[in-house]
């Protein structure tokens, strides 16, 4: 931190300038914490997401997928980070064409047999809910860590 010499008349302007610098530094630290949290969510969901068997089965259900595409769901999980200056956000998403499968895996779906509904629903896979459960604590720790680096 640098030292500043000012008169009593200039005190409010100098204090405003110093606090403005600190607020900008804190906003950058929060953005770095949000990005770390988003990267962590992507890594955790990639590790725990269901993977198709060699015959195209997800959670015991057969999916009509191309043989060359099997096992690609985990690789399709991605994120985007947006920094707006004083605010930022991280967005977790799944790239096409697997984005349609995400909703069915997370929420479950109707079970069909021979093209007709059986009246049953498949069990949802909690991989996303479990990964999101620890995010508030992880975000707080990441932001505190980044703000602690400010001098």
| pLDDT tens per residue, range 105-131 | 888 888 888 888 899 888 888 999 999
Would you state the pLDDT for residue 63?
Answer: 62
Report residue 111: phi and psi, to 5°: -95, 135
Helix (H, G, I), strand (E, B) or coil at 112: strand
CA distance 67 to 94: 19
10-56 pLDDT, tens digit per residue, is 888 888 888 888 899 999 999 999 999 999 999 999 999 887 666 66
Q: DSSP letter at 86?
A: S
CA dihedral 36, 42, 46, 49 (to 10 degrees): 130
Q: Is the pLDDT of residue 84 over 60?
A: yes
Whole-structure pTM value:
0.79
């Amino acid at each position: 931190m640098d030292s500043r010499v000012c008169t009593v008349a200039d005190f409010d302007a100098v204090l405003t300038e110093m606090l403005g610098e600190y607020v900008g530094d804190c906003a950058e630290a929060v953005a770095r914490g949000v990005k770390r949290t988003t990267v962590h969510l992507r890594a955790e969901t990639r590790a725990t997401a269901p993977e198709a068997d060699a015959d195209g089965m997800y959670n015991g259900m057969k999916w009509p997928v191309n043989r060359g595409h099997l096992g690609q769901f985990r690789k399709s999980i991605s994120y985007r980070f947006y920094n707006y200056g004083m605010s930022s956000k991280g967005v977790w998403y799944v790239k096409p064409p697997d984005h349609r499968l995400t909703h069915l895996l997370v929420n479950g779906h109707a079970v069909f047999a021979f093209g007709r509904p059986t009246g049953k629903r498949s069990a949802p896979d909690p991989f996303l809910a479990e990964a999101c459960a620890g995010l508030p604590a992880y975000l707080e720790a990441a932001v505190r860590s980044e703000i602690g680096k400010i001098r």
